[in-house]
Amino acid sequence: MSRGVLSAEEQREVLDGAVKLISTQELSAITLEGLSKACGVPAFDIVRQYHSKENILQAVLERELELIAGAVPSPELRFPGETLKDEIEVLAKVMLGEYRSRLKFMGKMLSEAMKNPEIGALFYKTFIEQGRLLFTEFLNTRKALGELRDDADVEAAAAMFLSALTFILLVVELFGGNKVEALDDERLVREMTDVFLRGVRS
């Protein structure tokens, strides 16, 4: 979907416009004309590039996941003296920050996913499953270095860690928990990392 009638800059404008609209409107209320107005790209060119609303949504989800993944430090860039625990804590903090910056978008997507099974499946396959695979790859790099147990189920561990991190953030900040208690990022990340590493570390 990266090739087509739109330049890379125009594609970015379309996806940025789609994120803004999704963050504030119901998916069913978003029109091609509205997206064209929001991004400044002709509607005809948007259709020729993406063909359907589903393809635009998929491109948005893939792009947002790439941006989140790009913010996470590479396993090969560990600083001298930094431990696996340090790495996981940094990764979790970065993810919290990236998720927090997308709360409106994530909340709308979650709401749409609960109403529409097709949107739910697309969101899961494009964003959740691919995110888990990226984290699994990160952990497998450390497993190959002998820092995780040989019998550790890295994929299951990645799924549990990401699910817990995402769920806690959504409940506290998106569903009104922050009106009852503040989310202590440092404590959350520290305790989640400790529990996680007890299950997988050599």
**Beta carbons within 8 Å of 36's beta carbon, 6+ residues apart:** 42, 43, 46
Mean pLDDT of the chain: 89
Q: Could you say which architecture CATH assigns to the domain 71-200?
A: Orthogonal Bundle (1.10)
Q: How distant, in Å, are the alpha carbons of 6, 131, 145, 170, 201 from that of 157?
A: 40, 13, 17, 20, 11
Between residues 21 and 177, which one has the greater pLDDT? 21
d(CA 64, CA 15): 9
The reported pLDDT for the residue numbered 42 is: 96
**Which residue type sits at 130?**
Q
Structure tokens at 124: 């899961």
The reported pLDDT for the residue numbered 19 is: 96
d(CA 142, CA 152): 11
Nearest to 116 by CA among 51, 17, 28: 28
Does 1 have pLDDT greater than 50? no
Estimate to the nearest angstrom the gap between the alpha carbon of 25 and the chain centroid.
20
The phi and psi torsions of 148 (rounded to 5 degrees) equal -120, 150
Q: Could you say which architecture CATH assigns to the domain 8-51?
A: Orthogonal Bundle (1.10)
d(CA 46, CA 123): 21
The reported pLDDT for the residue numbered 22 is: 95
Nearest to 138 by CA among 58, 65, 77, 60: 77
Does the fold of domain 71-200 match that of domain 8-51? Answer: no
d(CA 18, CA 67): 15
* Mean pLDDT, residues 18-23: 96
DSSP per residue over 22-76, as a string?
HHHS-GGG--HHHHHHHHT--HHHHHHHH-SHHHHHHHHHHHHHHHHHHHSPPGG
What is the tens place of the pLDDT at every residue in 142-181?
A: 899 888 999 999 999 999 999 998 888 888 887 887 788 8
Nearest-Å Rg of the Cα atoms of the chain is 19
What confidence category does residue 4 fall into, taking pLDDT thresholds of 50, 70 and 90?
A: low
Question: Any idea where the domains of the chain sit in the sequence?
Answer: 8-51, 71-200
